[in-house]
Amino acid sequence: MHIADGVVSLPVLVTSTAIAATGVGIGLKQTDYKQIPQVAVLTAGFFIASLIHIPLGPGQVHLLMNGLTGIILGWAAFPALLVALFLQALLFGYGGITVLGVNTVNMALPALCCHYLFTPLLRKELSRRSTFLIAFAAGGSAVAASGVLLAATLFFSNREFTGVATAILFAHLPVMVVEGVLTGSAVVFLKRVQPDFLTPNNSL
């Protein structure tokens, strides 16, 4: 779901960059010193997972892990994903530098929404099955939301991209399922070995 330089229109580019800058600023302000190791691990996880591209349909699909990142980090997902996307663009040419704000918003905004929608539920005393299902929904919906934002970005930049954006969105349907399983499994494991990993520490 990386958008390359030169694809996005100027109004979309400016708006997305402003949103990304705001999110990163809040994320940095809300990040506690003790949370930095979590941020580093999840940044690395996103960086590695989204490097593995699988050809499917008109493009390539890859894992995002933004649902899990959002559940754990909240607002800190913005700076975490910004760093990962910057390194991917700089080292491997995925995405671009001028569209860094666009790609950050498309990944981090769904992550933040997952934090506010699903993390309060996951903090409750739940069975493993319920925990898995809620986290599964978070992982899958984060990918779906990122796909919708990507489609919207392309649509508002140039409506000729609508067909491609729709095809890419449908191509990510299998990724939603895989992301859901991975996110659900990870949250169940974390709640078992480190029950306080969802302790509120960066809510706005």
Question: Which tokens belong to 65?
Answer: 């892990």
> How many angstroms separate the Cα of 172 from the Cα of each of 15, 92, 204?
25, 22, 31
**Residue 128 zone, left/alpha/beta (φ > 0; ψ -120 to 50; rest):** alpha
Taking only Cα atoms into account, the Rg of the chain, rounded to an integer number of angstroms, comes to: 16
For 13-72, the pLDDT digits (tens) are: 999 999 999 999 999 999 888 889 889 999 998 898 877 767 655 556 778 899 999 999
pLDDT digits (tens, 9 = 90+) for 77-132: 999 999 999 999 999 888 889 999 999 999 999 999 999 999 999 999 899 999 99
Domains, the chain: 10-198 (1.10.1760.20)
Q: What is the pTM of this model?
A: 0.89
Using alpha carbons, list the distances in angstroms from residue 178 to 88, 141, 174, 187, 200.
22, 12, 6, 14, 27
